[in-house]
Amino acid sequence: MSASRFEWSQLGDIQGGRPNLGGDTRVAVYRLMQFTLRSVLEKEFGEDRMRSLLIQAGYLAGSEFCRNVLDTGLALGPFIAQLHAKLLELSIGVLKVEKADAERMSFVVTVSEDLDCSGLPLAGTTVCDYDEGFLQGIFEAYTGQAFMVKEVDCWSTGERTCRFAIHPLP
């Protein structure tokens, strides 16, 4: 992925800046931003480019999230447990590992009750492009190697959870 100007410090002092409202908001507000941004990007660049840009943004977010929120010095099992706990704590989603090959660093994970699509009407296509990038960024920041993350099931395709295949690139 290309270099970016984003830095974790740009998130600012949320508690100081929102002394009455705090750091939480509703999922509908997040989705308002997410889906209007998707719409504008698709109109300007087409569906494929929109998806690519959302994956890139998710990748950047996941990389920074991993470096600033997670302990990358942990062994794989404790790291995954910490990731699960942080995603719960921040109300991002409920992470579960369905399959894991630690030797090959290949996984199938689900994220239920996620921010992007849980509860959406059927669209016939996956919509968690940002989440693909987010997971890719986390795994790459943790391991230092390149990964491919692909959403294989999504709420918007009729599943009740999002499922992602995660594999290292050769």
Tell whether pTM > 0.85: yes
Domains of the chain in sequence order: 8-168 (3.30.1380.20)
**pLDDT at residue 4, as a whole number:** 64
Tokens of 101: 């090959």
Q: Return the pLDDT at 5.
A: 86
Give DSSP secondary structure letters for 21-88. Answer: TTT---HHHHHHHHHHHHHHHHHHH-HHHHHHHHHHHHHHHHHHHHHHHS-TTS-HHHHHHHHHHHHH
**Phi/psi of residue 88, each to 5°?**
-70, -50
SS3 content of the chain, % helix, strand, coil (to 5): 50, 15, 35
Q: Give the number of other Cβ atoms within 10 Å of residue 26's Cβ.
A: 8
Given its phi and psi angles, is residue 144 left (phi above 0), alpha (psi -120 to 50 degrees) or beta?
left
Report pLDDT for 3. Answer: 63
> Which of 112, 117, 135 minimizes the C-alpha distance to 127?
117
What are the 10-residue block averages of pLDDT along the chain, 170 residues in total? 78 95 95 97 98 97 98 97 98 97 96 95 94 98 97 95 96
